[in-house]
Amino acid sequence: MIKLSKVDKRIYKHLNLSNKLQCLLIEDKEAEKSAAALNVQVGAFQDPRNAEGLAHFCEHMLFMGTTKYPDESEYQHFISKHSGMTNAYTSSTNTNYFFTVANDQLEGALDRFSQFFKYPLFKESCIQREMKAVHSEFNMNLQNDFWRKFQISKLLAPQNSSYSQFMIGNLDTLGQVNRQQLIDFHSRYYSSNLMKLVIYGKQSVEQLENWAIDMFSDIPNKNYNRPNVNIEGSQIIQNKLIKIVPINDEDHLDLIWVIDYLHPHFQNCPGKYIAHLIGHEGEGSLLSYLIKENLAYELQCGTQDEAYKFSELYVSIKLTKKGLAMYQHIIELVFNYINILQANAQIFNEVKQIKTLQFDYLEKQNPFDFVGALASRLHQYPVSDILKAPYLMENFDSNLINKTINQLNRNNLNVFLQSQQFQGKLGNFEKYFGSEYEISDLQFENQQIRNPNFHLPNLNKYLPNSTDLFANPNSQQYPTIIYESPYSTVYFKQDNKFNVPKTFIKIRQYLDQMGKSIQNEVLGALWQSLLTIHLRELFYEAEVASLSPSVSLVTNGIEYSLAGFSDSINKFLPDMLKKVLDFKVENYKDNYDTQLAKLICDLENFSRSPPYSQARTLSMLLLRDCGSFDPEDLLKTIRLIQFDDLIYFQNHFMDKCRFEWLIMGNIQESNAVSIVKQSEELFKKSLILQKEEVLQVRSINIPENIIYNYTRYLNSETETNSSVILYFQLESGTVRNQLIVDLLSNIIKTPFFSQLRTKEQLGYVVFSASSDVRGITGFQFLIQSSVKCPKYLQARIREFIKTFGIDDLTREQFEEYKQSIRVSLLEKDFSLGREVGRFWGEIQRHQNLFDRREQALSLLDNIDIKEVKNYYKQYLIEHPHQIEIHVVSPSHKQEQDSLPNTGLMSTSVEWIKRRVPLYPDMYSLL
């Protein structure tokens, strides 16, 4: 019997097919989209020594056609045109494939999907192209500090073990792989008894069962045992200090203990208990002390199972510069804290209580993520625990907890220390990523003095005492305004759908100082960084109680967000707002320099982020007239800021304000109004900000006859990727116009990906998508490439747009795309949080089209194929309004400079914005 939460009304059925393939079938009568996932218990650990990355390469190749469906784009195209998505990943021990699709197309999707595991073609014509795709993925990760450290960590394992191997693959490791090797790998490891299948649909479990039997029972069963990994925890080299030069200018200290395999104890969770204590951020915690002493910014603790043989417990600390210099002292502080750990039944039961509550009222997840996670879990847990496993803390076992704590000693510890200060000083370079590193013996200060600042967490005062649901005599479908004052406009909806004892509160506090100057942008960021320290202990206590509080600066003010059990919210919200108003930056002057240094590093690291990410940020900066600023300009400004400037900013930036609220969930209207009135009293010192004083953010109006180009050259010699965005501005985003743009997006995205990524192999990141900038729609094409410069990429995009056969689109195909949009519009919100997010978006757009989806459905049938074809030609070919964003790697600079310009070259984002007219702010309060 599968353990279900109190609110889960779905029907589950578990069965084993005749070929020993284990299936989990889920019937959800409320589902608007179906999903499926298949996890194979094979991964990078099974790569041959002479073909590292083969498991990952095989994953790529399964998408490239099967005997029944030989077209290499068939699966992707089918899923895409029927409102779905696909993905897959390869880990060390598993390969997971998953998709979503419209309900009425699940059978066809499963038929195509099942062929992956029976009759893949591994076509010769695709092998070299997809090998380059794997290489592009590797190139994309070359600048990723996680992957760089991960590969160096493998140097601690015996080099003849599969544990030490390189798992992504590139042209060097896969260059000699032929079709027969792929066939042999698939034939050897893709055995049905090593597979777990999850199917999720609106259909009955009986129908899902029939499909599972019909389509998956003939996957060959070779009766293989789970592949063995030739490694033991005792073989990992220990007691080492591993220094690494990272790409980003961030200093990190990671302590990793090799401990006994914890998975057999998943119900009693000693690792979860210990990680809860070491990772605690409340009063008396390790992190609280480290922050007070300006030694660290962040700390995380957790466990992970490795190779089915052993586990690791890690403590990951983001250091200040002072902390880097005192890293050995921090190691001693960690051991100081470990020394006070003990098996405490009261703490265990408190964590168990909240985990039980979280599971009992667990809302639905996106089916796309849900099925992938379940297919993986089926390899790890008994079927009865498949849903509850992440929330299990069954029995308090003091002996097991203390035994695990005792393993956190100096003998089985490795320490990773990352800093750019080591550049040029370490002398070794890792083979695949080129990371500079050094491995030496670990030295300890051996300070055994107990730190009086440390103590175990106090009992949590925000745990809910009640999970009762309030009676709801109304059945309103959308939020309504229940209260207005000179300060506030309050939207409210008592939940009548999800029936969970949870409340969501969203507050936008508009301030007249935010977004109007780059100085205030910087001062706001500094204010928030110190406020985060001020709120950390309070917020962490709330998070442990399953509340999700946040306070963040937005373009025109502050946004407060709070979600969790209704009873807890009533206790916490007044404390949160009072704590914000009690905040004085003067009390955190000792933290100012470290927070200033962190913000400077964050801004400097923008230039080290993936080029496609930089291009997207720059495009958003360019398309809006105010409210956001170039990180390079922010960097110049922040270096001029003084602490007195921050004090002045704090004293005045709340001089005027007004509020918008959305309160939804298990809460009564009278309680909601009372909360608002009490909160308003806290802000009575502020004057009222009139609606016309709220910052308006306007989209630039791109002229038809001028192509503006903004090019940014990267300085990092290790960055091999460049990126391009070609952006077409369309028109104001009425419901009808947005439908046309969404239709075009569905029509274009798969052919664009297929041509420029799959066939031309221009890069790993290739996509097209619609966008909305303050109510003005647009369409963008993006490529990140390690093989070609942005001008070349842009030329290929333009050629695609020009030659794309929009006129070849048939009425039958067009109706399929319309049906895909229809399915998406009919898709219900699967959780209260999702519904809140959708309605809050409408409130922030100040259009209050809470029935936007219903309006779109009523308009969809009247959109004709000819109208969409003409729209494509008008806005993308005949009368385009466009800008170009180029981010150029040093490796592509020569090629970039040798090709002709296609647009008016600008010297900065602001240079363009000063030369174009502006649209009105379609999302204004007015």
How confident is the model over 662-691, as pLDDT tens digits?
999 999 999 999 999 999 999 988 999 999
Q: In the chain, which segments carry CATH 3.30.830.10?
A: 11-216, 236-343+397-441, 480-506+518-547+566-693, 708-913
Q: What is the DSSP letter of 918?
A: B
Tell me what percent of the residues of the chain surpass a pLDDT of 90: 95
Q: Give the number of other Cβ atoms within 10 Å of residue 892's Cβ.
A: 27
pTM here? 0.94
pLDDT of residue 851: 96
Q: What DSSP line would sit under 679-693, residue for residue? A: HHHHTTTSEEPPGGG
Interior CA angle at 271 toward 267 and 273, to 5°? 85
Query: Is residue 707 packed enough to be buried (19+ CB in 10 Å), middle (13-18) or exposed (0-12)?
Result: middle
CA distance 77 to 813: 12
Average pLDDT of the residues of the chain: 96
Residues in the chain: 926
CA distance 548 to 557: 20
Fold of 236-343+397-441: Cytochrome Bc1 Complex; Chain A, domain 1 (3.30.830)
| Residues 785, 722 contacting (CB under 8 angstroms) | yes
Q: What is the CA radius of gyration of the chain?
A: 28
What's the token pair of residue 641? 């800021």
Mean pLDDT of all residues in 852-868: 96
Task: Report residue 520's pLDDT band, with 50, 70 and 90 as the boundaries.
Answer: very high
Task: Report residue 32's pLDDT band, with 50, 70 and 90 as the boundaries.
Answer: confident
**For residue range 628-655, what is the model confidence (pLDDT) as tens digits?**
899 999 999 999 999 999 999 999 989 9
CA separation, residue 415 to residues 165, 274, 446, 492 (Å): 21, 19, 15, 51
CA distance 910 to 708: 12
CA distance 380 to 474: 45
| Residues 22, 14 contacting (CB under 8 angstroms) | yes
Start-to-end Cα distance in the chain = 56
Which residue bears the tokens 């000063």? 914
Task: Report residue 450's pLDDT band, with 50, 70 and 90 as the boundaries.
Answer: confident
pLDDT of residue 109: 98
| Residues 26, 76 contacting (CB under 8 angstroms) | no
Phi then psi for residue 381, to 5 deg, are -130, 160
CA 640, chain centre distance (Å): 34
CATH number of 708-913: 3.30.830.10
Position 764, amino acid: Y
Phi then psi for residue 711, to 5 deg, are -115, 130
In the predicted structure, residue 627 carries a pLDDT above the cut 90: no
In the predicted structure, residue 849 carries a pLDDT above the cut 80: yes
pLDDT of residue 365: 94
Which residue bears the tokens 């998953």? 98
Phi then psi for residue 469, to 5 deg, are -100, 135
Task: Report residue 866's pLDDT band, with 50, 70 and 90 as the boundaries.
Answer: very high
CA distance 771 to 620: 10
Task: Kindly give the residue spans of alpha helices, DSSP state H, lying in 166-231.
Answer: 171-174, 179-189, 205-216
Three-state SS at 342: coil
CA distance 136 to 762: 8
| Residues 715, 607 contacting (CB under 8 angstroms) | yes
What's the token pair of residue 763? 């890069």
Instruction: Name the E strands within 167-260.
Output: 195-201, 240-244, 251-259
Which residues on neighbouring strands pair with residue 849, listed in sequence order? none
CA distance 192 to 186: 11
CA distance 361 to 329: 43
In the predicted structure, residue 892 carries a pLDDT above the cut 90: yes
pLDDT of residue 486: 93
In the predicted structure, residue 555 carries a pLDDT above the cut 80: yes
In the predicted structure, residue 800 carries a pLDDT above the cut 90: yes
What lies within 8 Å, CB to CB, of 221 at 6+ separation is 19, 20, 21, 191, 192, 193
Mean pLDDT of all residues in 757-772: 95
Task: Report residue 445's pLDDT band, with 50, 70 and 90 as the boundaries.
Answer: confident
What's the token pair of residue 411? 């003998």
pLDDT of residue 869: 97
| Residues 776, 760 contacting (CB under 8 angstroms) | no
**For residue range 95-147, what is the model confidence (pLDDT) as tens digits?**
999 999 999 999 999 999 999 999 999 999 999 999 999 999 999 999 999 99
Task: Kindly give the residue spans of alpha helices, DSSP state H, lying in 248-292.
Answer: 270-278, 286-292
Interior CA angle at 876 toward 871 and 880, to 5°? 105
In the predicted structure, residue 574 carries a pLDDT above the cut 80: yes
**H or E, element range at 297:** strand 296-306
Q: What is the DSSP letter of 700?
A: B
| Residues 890, 717 contacting (CB under 8 angstroms) | yes
CA distance 63 to 289: 51
What's the token pair of residue 26? 């889920």
Mean pLDDT of all residues in 45-73: 97
Query: Is residue 635 packed enough to be buried (19+ CB in 10 Å), middle (13-18) or exposed (0-12)?
Result: middle
| Residues 758, 65 contacting (CB under 8 angstroms) | no
What lies within 8 Å, CB to CB, of 591 at 6+ separation is 291, 294, 530, 533
CA distance 883 to 909: 11
Q: Give residue 691's region: left, alpha or beta (phi > 0; psi -120 to 50).
A: alpha
Mean pLDDT of all residues in 727-756: 95
| Residues 11, 26 contacting (CB under 8 angstroms) | yes
CATH number of this structure's domain 11-216, picked from the four choices 1.10.340.30, 3.40.50.880, 3.30.830.10, 3.40.50.300: 3.30.830.10
**For residue range 223-232, what is the model confidence (pLDDT) as tens digits?**
999 988 889 9
**For residue range 704-718, what is the model confidence (pLDDT) as tens digits?**
989 999 999 999 889
Burial letters for 820-858: b for 16+ Cβ neighbours within 10 Å, e otherwise? bbbbbbebebbbbbbbbeebbebbebbeeebebbeebbe
CA distance 451 to 435: 37
pLDDT of residue 537: 97
Fold of 480-506+518-547+566-693: Cytochrome Bc1 Complex; Chain A, domain 1 (3.30.830)
pLDDT of residue 693: 93
Three-state SS at 312: strand
Which residues on neighbouring strands pair with residue 886, listed in sequence order? 711, 724
In the predicted structure, residue 448 carries a pLDDT above the cut 80: no
Tell me what percent of the residues of the chain surpass a pLDDT of 70: 100
